[in-house]
Structure 1
Amino acid sequence: MRRLERLRRLAWVATQSEGSAVTLSDDGGPSDTPPVLTHDDGVIAIDTLTAGMTDVTAGYLIDAPRPALIECGPALTIGSVLQGLAALGLGPSDLAYLVLTHIHLDHAGGAGDVAAAFPNATVVVSEHGARHLAEPDRLNASSARVYGPLFDTVYGACTPVPAERLRSIADRDELDLGAGRVLELLHTPGHAKHHLGVVDPDIGAVFSGDSVGVQLPGMTELRPATPPPEFHLEAALRSLDRYRERSPGRIYLAHYGPVDPADAVLDQAEEQLRRWVEVAELARDEAHTLGLSGTHELDHVAETLQQRFHVRRQPSAEADDVAEDDARLRMLNDTRANAAGLLRYLHRRDTGELTELG
C-alpha cells in the first residue's frame, strides 16, 4: 500500500509539471535521489546517473502487481537506481523482475547488486547472455578491453547473479506481471546477439535497449549503435520489422527516454542504419584505394562518418548544454566505436563469416 500510494503521488506531481523530473522524500518533499519521472502511460523512468551525468541511461519501472524494472545501468552508479526505487517505496520484497535488454555494462552492470538488494527478484535476460551474468569474468575482461579507462571510472565490473536467480529467455517468451498484464520478449539481434526487445501491449510501447538507436535529449534524430564485435545490419533490420509487426505507439530508448510516433521512429532507425553502412563501405573502399589499412583505415572511416553525420540539435540548445551532450555522446555512441563495428561487419559479410545472429 505504501509503495502504490507513493507511485500515485509521484504520477500526480509529474502531471503538474510535464517533462520535469520529480523525486520525493519520506514526507513527500524533495530528496537527493536521482531524477524520477512518470510518463503519461504510467512508465516510471529512473535516471541511472551514469558517469555522474543525467540523461545518459534510463531504467524503466513498470508498476504492476509484480513490478518489473527494465535496465539497471552500470555497477558504479547502481546505488542511484536503488535510491530511486526506495524513494518510490519499493522494499526488498517488492521487485519481481529485473529485465535486461542485453548484457553490455551500461545496461546490465549493476544486475548482481539489484539481485542482492531485492532477494525475490528474478533477473530476466536472453538465453544467449545468461551465462555471462552468472559467471561474468569473460564479460568483465572483454568490457575492460573495449572501454579502456572508462571501465574503472564509469562502468565498473559486473557482479555475479546467482544462477538460480536467472531466467533465460527464448524468443517470444512472456513475463506475467499480474492482473492480466504480460510483457512479450523478442529476440532482437543486430546490436548484439543477446539483445531482447520488450513489448508492453497494454500501453503500446516497446522498450528497445540499443536496437533502435540513441537519441539523447536535445537531439533531433536517431544515431545507430553499431559497436563491435556483433553488429549485423540484416539482423538489425529484421528486429525493426518485428517491432513494426506489434504496431507500437511509442518507443522507450535506454539512451534516452520515450520517442514517438513509433512508426516514424522505426523508419528513421532503418534509414540511419542503411546510410551509416553505405557511407562506411564507401569510406572503406576509398581507404583501400589510398593504401590505408589497420588503424589508418579505421581513422579514415571514422572521420568520414563524423563529417557526414553531424549531430542535429534543437535550435534552442545553448553552448554549455551542447558541450555536456557531446560528452554524453562520446561515451555512449562514439563515432570511432561505431566505425569499428561497421568495418568488422563489412569484413565478415564480404568473407562469408556472418551468422544469422551476428
Structure 2
Amino acid sequence: MKNNGLSQAINPQAEARVDAPITFMSSDHVPRVTDYGFGISAIDADYLRPGLAAIHLVVEGDKAALVDTGTSSSVPGLIRVLGIKNLDPADIAYVFVTHIHLDHAGGAGEFMRCFPNAKLVVHPRGARHMADPARLIASAMSVYGEMEFKRMYGVIRPVDANRIIEAPDGFSLDFNGRPLVFLDTPGHARHHYCIFDRSSQSFFTGDTFGLSYREFDVDGMEFVFPTTTPVQFDPVAAHASLDRIMGYEPSYAFLTHYGRIGHLPRHALELHQLIDAHVRIARELRDVPDRRTALVEELGNLLLSRIVAHGCKLPQEEIHDLLSLDVGLNVQGLENWLDHAGGN
C-alpha cells in the first residue's frame, strides 16, 4: 500500500465505525466518494449521470476488494480514488460482480487488466459470459445499436478463465481474515448473488434489494423501489430473495444504485408491496393497445405518488426525470415477463 500523506484525513480504517457517511468531492475528474466505516466506501461509477451507479470499495488490512464495476470508462476515476486512499492497483485482491448486467459487470475485463493480482468472483451462471462476453455484447448491441452501445459501455474485455472464481449458493470466502458469504438471490436475474459481510452485518445487494437514489432521501429516510429488468424478472423469486436477506437481520444494505441504506425492515415491506403493485399493473394492462406507453404512464404515476407521499419536495418534473430510465427498463422487464414467463 502506498503512503502519500493523505491517509490520516480520509482513510476509512481510521475509525472502526462511522455512523454518518462522509462525502468528499475533488476536481480533475475524481469521482464522488462516500466513506461509511468498516472500510467500505461508495465510489461513483460515472455511469450516465452522477449518483446512478456505485462501485463499492472494501478495505481489509493491506488488501482491498471491489463490488461491481460500472463500465470500462469507470476505471480512470477509480484508480485516482485508489491513489487518494493510499491503495495500489496491486492491492486489489478481488472483484465481485453481483450479476453480469453491463452496468454492474461491463468493466470487469478492464478491471482485471488493471488489477493484476485480483480474482473475479461471479455467479456460476455468469462465469462463462465473463470469460467470453460475445453474447453479452451482441445482446446489448441488438438493443442499443453499435454506436450507442459503445457510448454507454465502451470496450468489453474477456477475463482469463483461470482468474475467475465461481460463487454458488452458500459459498464462503475469507477476504484477508474478513468472512464473506454469497447467497444465490434470483428475482432480478438468475445470475445474481448477494454478499453478506459479517464485519458490518450488511449485505452488498446489487439490484436484489431494489434501487434507492439519494436525491429522494427525506430527513435521513430513503425511498426504495424494485427493479424488474430486463429479461429474467421473477416476482416469486424476488419476494423469496428479499425474505432470505432479511433472515440475516442485516444492519445495512449497500446498493449499486446507490450506496448504503438502513431502515431495512421498513424497506423490505415496501419492496414486497411495490413488486406486487408492478405485477398487478402489468396484468391489468396486458392486452391494452399500446401497452408499453400505458405501462410507462402507470408505473411512473405509481412511483411518483409514493415518492410524494414519502415527503420528497423535488419538483415533479425532476422526479420524473430521475425515474425515467428505470421506469422504461422496468416496463421492458414486465413485458418480457408477461410474454414469456406466463404472468398469469
> What is residue 340 of structure 1 aligned with on the other side?
332
CA RMSD of superposed structures (Å): 2.8
Cα separation, partners in 2 of 1:61 and 1:55, compared to 1, 3 Å: same
Other-structure match for 2:149: 151
Pairing 1:330–2:328 present: no
| TM superposition outliers: structure 1 runs of 4+ over 6 Å | 12-17
Q: Name which of structure 1's ranges 131-140 and 219-228 shifts more when overlaid on structure 2.
A: 219-228
Q: TM-score, normalization: structure 2? A: 0.87
Give 1:56's aligned residue. 52
Deviation of the 1:262 alpha carbon: 1.9
Partners in 2 of 1:242 and 1:95 — Cα distance?
Answer: 29
Of the structure 1 ranges 184-193 and 145-154, higher mean CA displacement relative to structure 2 is found in: 145-154
The residue aligned with 2:135 is: 138
Deviation at 1:275, TM superposition (A): 1.2
| AA at the equivalent of 2:93 | A
Aligned to 2:219: none
Identical counterparts, % of pairs? 30
Corresponding residue for residue 300 of structure 1: 294
1:83 matched residue in structure 2:
80
Q: Determine helix, strand or coil for the equivalent of 2:286.
A: helix
Indicate if the aligned counterparts of 1:67 and 1:95 stay in contact, CA closer than 8 A: yes
In the alignment, the residues of structure 2 paired with residue 16 and residue 322 of structure 1 have an alpha-carbon distance, to the nearest angstrom, of 35
Tell me the distance in 2 between the aligned counterparts of 1:129 and 1:225.
19
Q: CA deviation at 1:80?
A: 1.6
**Structure 2 residue matching 1:218: 3-state secondary structure:** helix
How far apart in 1 are the matches of 2:337 and 2:115?
Answer: 39
- The separation in 2 between residues aligned to 1:137 and 1:48, in whole angstroms, is 23
5+ long unaligned stretches in structure 2: 217-221
Q: Distance in 2 between matches of 1:93 and 1:83?
A: 14
Aligned 8 A contact 1:140 1:157 in 2? no
Shift of 1:302: 2.3
1:46-84 superposed Cα distances (whole Å, 9 cap, x missing partner): 111112x32111111111143211111012333222222
Matched, 1:123 2:120: yes
1:244 to 243, 246, 267: 246
Aligned to 1:27: none
2:2 & 2:72 partners in 1: Cα distance? 28
Q: Does 2:158 align with 1:160?
A: yes
> What SS does structure 2 have at the residue aligned with 1:154?
helix
Pairwise CA distance, 1:32: 4.3
The answer (yes or no) to whether the contact 1:82–1:114 under 8 Å persists in 2 is: no
For residue 58 of structure 1, what is the amino acid of its counterpart? A
- 1:71 paired with 2:68, answer yes
TM-score, with length taken from structure 1: 0.84
Please tell me whether the aligned partners of residues 10 and 23 of structure 1 are also in contact (alpha carbons under 8 angstroms).
no
Q: Is 2:113 the counterpart of 1:113?
A: no
Q: Contact 1:299/1:336 (CA < 8 Å) preserved in 2?
A: no
1:106 alignment partner AA: D
Aligned residue pairs, count? 333
Structure 2 counterpart of 1:102:
99
- Following the alignment from structure 1 to structure 2, what is the Cα–Cα distance between the partners of residues 197 and 17? 23
1:230 aligns with 2:232: yes
More moved, 79-88 vs 142-151: 142-151
